[in-house]
Structure 1
C-alpha cells in the first residue's frame, strides 16, 4: 500500500503538465506580499502565542 502511494507521488512529481516555474514564483510572491501587509498582525499573534506558552510552561515547571 505504501509503495503504491509512494509510486503515485513520484509519478505526480515527474509529470510535466503541472505547475510551471512562473506560477510557482507568482504564488510565492503573493504569499510574501500578504506576509508583508499583515506583518504587524502576524507579529502580534506570534508574540501572544509565545507569551501563552511561556506562562503555561512556568505553571507546569513551578508546580513541584
Structure 2
C-alpha cells in the first residue's frame, strides 16, 4: 500500500493586507485594537478567496471597515 503525499494547506501571503494597513496609521491602530477572533473573522474571506479578483474584492471590503 502506497501512502499518498499529504496535501499541505495552501497559505496565501498576507502581504496585501499588511501593506494596506501599514499605509494608514489609523487603520493599523484600529486593527491592533481588534481581538484575535475579530481579526480572523475580518480576514477570513481574503484567506479563502481563490482568484485575484475575489481577493481584491475581499481586501476592499476589509479596508472599508477601517476607512
The answer to whether TM tops 0.5 is no
Q: Which has the higher helix share?
A: 1
Kindly indicate whether structure 1 or structure 2 has the higher relative contact order, using CA contacts under 8 Å at least 6 residues apart: 2
Q: Select the structure of larger CA radius of gyration.
A: 1
Give TM-score scaled by structure 2 length: 0.28
